[in-house]
Structure 1
């Protein structure tokens, strides 16, 4: 009986890939709801982005984008999660941001992005440690 209970408890834990995908959705929701603080919540305290952007600068960039656009939508492609051990992962996807009435792509020139992010499990929560984006079309 005890063994059965332990087995059920082990099954109730969310698989790492599912937990990361849930965080990707949380990030998308934070962007669409125009919440720079919720965007920052998905970023690790050691976050590093392009041009040595830290967590604070990423939050500020999100806030500026959100001030410029009353509506923001996120269109994503398939999300590819690659685990590296028990506490690290890489996530790859493609995305485009929409603004205005949901039809104008951000920035002003239409562009889709290849996005690669590093993730770390810290205190039971997956957060982004690194992020790069490159234009799909050049």
Structure 2
């Protein structure tokens, strides 16, 4: 009987350790979380959803030439209206943490737009640097700068 209780206690300990390990695995590292937000931005572009793009931006977002959050959403909406087919293909994303709640992600992107033909009408490769801030447990895009690479 004593051996049964020891086995039962051991099984409970092992179960608790497994649950703790699974909980730790489920929580994404800051680098993974930023990469996930970059992917969410690409998905919003692919879905042509200016509202989803705006939802990923910090309230004090700043882009090229002083673009604010509202202007970024308007630019996205205008591009979506101009081009029936939009594409954004990302290169490898490098993430650099800066303190507890800030990060920088750098990557290249091939942006294409077209009218639905076999080949895009326009295309450009950009070098992109984005700044991210942790806001209420969610990474928000604080800044973005992009320069043509071709």
Instruction: Give the TM bin, normalised by the shorter chain.
Output: 0.7 to 0.9
Hey, what's the Cα distance between the residues in 2 that align with 1:89 and 1:133? 17
**CA contact 2:112–2:124 (8 Å) conserved in 1:** no
1:104 maps to what in 2?
A: 120
Q: Residue 126 of structure 2 is aligned with which of 103, 113, 121? A: 113
Higher helix share: 2
Q: Is there any run of 5+ residues in structure 2 with no aligned partner, and where?
A: 1-12
**Post-superposition shift, 1:9?**
3.0
1:47 maps to what in 2?
A: 61
- Secondary structure at the counterpart of residue 61 of structure 1: helix
**Post-superposition shift, 1:99?**
1.8
Answering whether residue 146 of structure 2 is matched by residue 133 of structure 1, we say yes
Q: What TM-score, normalized by structure 2, do the two folds share?
A: 0.81
Hey, what's the Cα distance between the residues in 2 that align with 1:46 and 1:17? 22
Q: Residue 14 of structure 1 is aligned with which of 20, 24, 28? A: 28
Q: What TM-score, normalized by structure 1, do the two folds share?
A: 0.88
2:4 maps to what in 1?
A: none
**Post-superposition shift, 1:11?**
3.4
**Post-superposition shift, 1:12?**
2.3
- Secondary structure at the counterpart of residue 91 of structure 1: strand
**Post-superposition shift, 1:117?**
0.5
**Post-superposition shift, 1:111?**
2.4
- The structure having more radius of gyration, on CA atoms, is 2
> What number of residue pairs does the alignment pair up?
134
**CA contact 1:97–1:105 (8 Å) conserved in 2:** no
- Secondary structure at the counterpart of residue 124 of structure 2: coil
RMSD: 1.8
